[in-house]
Amino acid sequence: MTFPVVGMVGGGQLARMTHEAGIPLGIRFKLLSDTPQDSAAQVVGDVVVGDYRDLDTLREFARGCDVITFDHEHVPTEHLRALEADGIPVRPGPDALVHAQDKGVMRAKLDAIGVPCPRHRMVTDPQDVAAFAAEGEGFPVVLKTVRGGYDGKGVWVVDSVEEAAEPFKAGVPVLAEEKVDFVRELAANVVRSPHGQAVAYPVVESRQVNGVCDTVIAPAPDLDEALALKAEEMALNIAKELGVVGHLAVELFQTRDGRILVNELAMRPHNSGHWSMDGAITSQFANHVRAVLDLPLGDPRPRAKWTVMVNVLGGDYPDMYSAYLHCMARDPQLKIHMYGKDVKPGRKVGHVNTYGDDLDDVLERARHAAGYLRGTITE
Amino acid sequence: MTFPVVGMVGGGQLARMTHEAGIPLGIRFKLLSDTPQDSAAQVVGDVVVGDYRDLDTLREFARGCDVITFDHEHVPTEHLRALEADGIPVRPGPDALVHAQDKGVMRAKLDAIGVPCPRHRMVTDPQDVAAFAAEGEGFPVVLKTVRGGYDGKGVWVVDSVEEAAEPFKAGVPVLAEEKVDFVRELAANVVRSPHGQAVAYPVVESRQVNGVCDTVIAPAPDLDEALALKAEEMALNIAKELGVVGHLAVELFQTRDGRILVNELAMRPHNSGHWSMDGAITSQFANHVRAVLDLPLGDPRPRAKWTVMVNVLGGDYPDMYSAYLHCMARDPQLKIHMYGKDVKPGRKVGHVNTYGDDLDDVLERARHAAGYLRGTITE
């Protein structure tokens, strides 16, 4: 059979779950992983251990792959261009991926295509931050290094010119943004294929705790239908204008005055789409694989009235197995997704999905399981 | 973390799909496979290539496994006993598994516990077959070698004493059974754990073509509720009385006069349970893993009104990829499961699942996709 080989750069849980979704599709999977112990490296057959920052390693890895895709956005743009020059399809390609790698490039592009964002501009030093504050509503101001941040890292909320010194210490360009008065965060997840087919998942509500995604509710409760449609269209438009291939997550603020503003973009399967593994007809991971191979996309619609995802973070106790057993006994419908990672406090080591007709019940079951696994709930 | 290692003997598609189900559970999987190209060996990280008939190979493989389970029923009983003597849990254990390995032992045990079976007895030669026929309704008679048969192999339907010679040529004991006047075949799938928890999947209808499973409909249409309950209870009772751990498939004949008779037993995930991957809250593969680890079992109930599974058999054309692409484009809700196997005419190389509210539609979609992949439907 001529079933293709997908080369996945990065051995984290997104790669692990993409492999899981690729198995029934009959897709062969090859992994470039930092270590043999990485989350995905534990479960994939064809693993190359190496450094994605080294072009020779990437080139050697790409040999025999029909397409290259990613579990993270950290591969240097020039390496991606080199692979493309070698004739290896890279999806998403470097021209799209740079918008998820560099927040400055992303904001400039979204401005150019008329997508609403928080007020923002690049800033050069703390005094410039004060000037940015004075141009709008004053402090607090959000500062972000344009590259390298994730899960709250590389982001500061500063209340004064003195506090604004820290972000500049890394020597990376800094973007200033207004602190949006939002009522909640939403995410619009879409998948786009090279021939331009695209699907939109229902818009979800995403609740963060300390800058880390904690709970996702699909679909977002009480979301005005017109606003939901607007968010889906916005995400599909961004995917098209940026030339995204594969999964695109558009993180959004819903403001008190009824607008939606783009917070962040991610060009890979995303935490806000994990609910789809058990809650949608086709999961984000299956559709990502289908998209990077230019296969027809699967139906993204929900299978349940409500699906809730809660992340399982590491707690103080390193062994979750007995808690895991308890959670299975308590709720035979619970869907647990463990990543095979060592437990460290605050580290994402898994997630749980629940679904059903009663949102309160679905939320309680997911929260209880995640809390019990973490050790913050003991009964 | 102390998440356990499941050792799977056999590298076929059942092992492949069990690994897929084990990934979200965080279970580490170790595979003993005949070749590195086997269906499961392509997708599992930790693969030992070796011969399961060799005790030293099995012992070496079992080192570091917390439990051993199987993708097939061919491991010699004495080897399983040796592993148990080494302190390795074998699930299902040899005392249970022998009932799926030896049809003579199986019939004797089912007789002893009062489970209805087709009229049967061991036969010694063609004249004895004629005597067996004369004891009942005459020819035709079904003859089965007690060991080594599957998918119609090792089974003969004979019309005369002359035709009855063939099955005795292998030198394996032969079981004679009445040819049951059945209206259809059913299957009752149950899963049982070492501490005795058990779950029953809805009874399904299984349609065979040339002795090979072709279509499964879950639940079995128009099945009398009392008969369905009786079949589930029978399967749960067999699992208990035989000491099964893991998945047990009980293949049944539904007779014209409204009885159910046991045809075959399989102690592993089974073709008649593949629908559960997309149609049940917990798949047979996930529940098999949970059972062999003595974890609490997941909910076996259906997620859709109707789920249909149709096997994809190899056709004349070795490359299914373009047909696969066509099927995805035609039906975005289709669930394709490919096994990574080379196409050979008549070989099971995958299956498709469809689900929905309208049985005719669900059946048509699954049949079309499987037929298109095989090449028997070209439009």
Q: pLDDT tens across A213-239, in order?
A: 999 999 999 999 999 999 999 999 999
Taking CA atoms, what residue in B is nearest to A280? B333
Confidence (pLDDT) at A57 = 98
Q: Is the pLDDT of residue A148 over 90?
A: no
- Angstroms from B306 CA to nearest CA on chain A: 14
Strand order in the sheet with A155-158: A120-123, A174-178, A141-145, A155-158
- Per residue in A266-306, pLDDT (tens digit) is 999 999 999 999 999 999 999 999 999 999 999 999 999 99
**Phi first, then psi: what are they for B75, rounded to 5°?**
-70, 130
Residue B299 to residue A333, Cβ atoms within 8 A: yes
Mean pLDDT of B45-58: 97
Intrachain domains B5-90 and B182-374 with the same fold: no
Note whether A26 contacts B324, CB cutoff 8 Å: yes
Q: What is the mean pLDDT of residues B194-209?
A: 96
Identify the band that residue B379 occupies on the pLDDT scale cut at 50, 70 and 90: confident
Give the pLDDT score at A210.
Answer: 85
CATH of domain A119-178: 3.30.1490.20
Radius of gyration of chain A (CA): 21
Report the distance separating Cα A41 and Cα B353, nearest Å: 29
Q: Residue A167's pLDDT is what?
A: 92
pLDDT surpasses 90 at B312: yes
User: Could you give the percent of chain B with pLDDT greater than 70?
Assistant: 99
Q: In this model, does residue B349 exceed pLDDT 90? A: yes
Say whether residue B337 is in contact with chain A using an 8 A CB cutoff.
Answer: yes
Locate B369 and state its tokens.
């996709």
Select from B280, B306, B314, B317 the least CA-distant residue to B366.
Answer: B306
How large a percentage of chain A has pLDDT more than 90?
Answer: 93
- Structure-block tokens of residue A118: 């928080």
CA distance B274 to chain A (A): 12
Q: Is B25 on the interface with A (CB under 8 A)?
A: yes
Judged by CB atoms closer than 8 Å, whether chains meet at A24 and B335 is answered as yes
Task: Give the Cα-Cα-Cα angle B7, B248, B270 (nearest 5 degrees).
Answer: 75
- Which residue of A23, A342, A353 to mutate against B (max B Cβ within 10 Å)? A23
HEC secondary structure over A171-199: CCCEEEEECCCEEEEEEEEEEECCCCCEE
Q: Do A337 and B24 touch (CB under 8 A)?
A: yes
Inform me whether the C-beta atom of residue B351 falls under 8 Å from chain A C-beta atoms.
Answer: no
Contacts of A325 (CB under 8 A, 6+ apart): B295, B296
Confidence of residue A2 (pLDDT cuts 50, 70, 90): confident
Q: Is the separation of the CB atoms in B368 and B317 below 8 Å?
A: no
CB < 8 Å to A338, chain B: 3, 24-26
- Which pLDDT score is estimated for B152? 63
B336 contacts A28? CB cut-off 8 A? no
Query: Distance (Å, rounded) from C-alpha B46 to C-alpha B25?
Result: 17
Taking alpha carbons only, the member of B359, B208, B357, B219 closest to residue B280 is B219
Indicate the length of chain A as a whole number.
Answer: 379
* Structure confidence at residue B149 as a pLDDT band (50, 70, 90): low
Q: Assess A317–B contact: CB distance below 8 Å, yes or no.
A: no
Determine the pLDDT at residue A273: 98
End-to-end CA distance of chain A: 52
Question: Which of these, B187, B189, B199, lies nearest to B295 by C-alpha position?
Answer: B199
Summarize the confidence of residues B335-358 as an average pLDDT: 96
Q: With an 8 Å Cβ cutoff, is A24 touching chain B?
A: yes
In this prediction the ipTM stands at: 0.95
Give me the amino acid identity at B49.
V
pLDDT at position A149 is 64
Q: How confident is the model at residue B79 (pLDDT cuts 50, 70, 90)?
A: very high
What is the pLDDT, as a whole number, of residue B34?
A: 97
Which pLDDT score is estimated for B150?
60
- Quick one: A162 exposed, middle or buried, by C-beta within 10 A (0-12, 13-18, 19+)? exposed
Asked if residue B212 has pLDDT above 90, the reply is no
Q: Measured in whole angstroms, how far is the alpha carbon of residue A366 from the centre of its chain?
A: 20
Gap from B67 CA to chain A (nearest CA, Å): 16
What is the CB neighbour count within 10 angstroms for residue A5? 14
Report CB contact under 8 Å: B23, A20: yes
Nearest Cβ partner for A343 among B1, B282, B333: B1
- pLDDT at residue number A150: 61
Chain B residues in contact with A335 by the CB 8 A cut-off are 24
Query: How much is the mean pLDDT over chain B?
Result: 95
CB contact under 8 A, A324 and B42: no
Q: Which residue of A has its CA nearest to B353?
A: A24
pLDDT tens track for A150-174: 666 789 999 999 999 999 988 889 9
Residue B263, pLDDT score = 96
Give residue B170's pLDDT: 82
Residues of chain A found within 8 Å of residue B281, distances taken between Cβ atoms:
332-333
pLDDT, tens digit, 9 for 90 and up, residues A26-77? 999 999 999 999 999 999 999 999 999 999 999 999 999 999 999 999 999 9
Q: What share of chain A is helix, strand, coil (3-state, %, to 5)?
A: 35, 30, 40
Q: Where are the domains of chain A?
A: 5-90, 119-178, 182-374
Give CA angle at B247 (A322, A366), nearest 5°.
40
Give the pLDDT score at B317.
Answer: 86
Q: Do B26 and A319 touch (CB under 8 A)?
A: no
The structural architecture, per CATH, of the domain B182-374 is 2-Layer Sandwich (3.30)
For residue B208, the distance in angstroms to the closest alpha carbon of chain A comes to 23
Q: Which of B1, B277, B319 sits opposite A321 (nearest CB)?
A: B1
Q: Does A101 touch chain B (CB under 8 A)?
A: no
Closest by CA to A39, choosing from A11, A19, A18, is: A11
User: Yes or no: is domain A5-90 CATH 3.40.50.20?
Assistant: yes
Q: Do B26 and A343 touch (CB under 8 A)?
A: no
Q: Which of A20, A25, A342 sits opposite B24 (nearest CB)?
A: A20
For chain B, positions 35-94, list CB contacts with chain A under 8 A: 41-45, 47
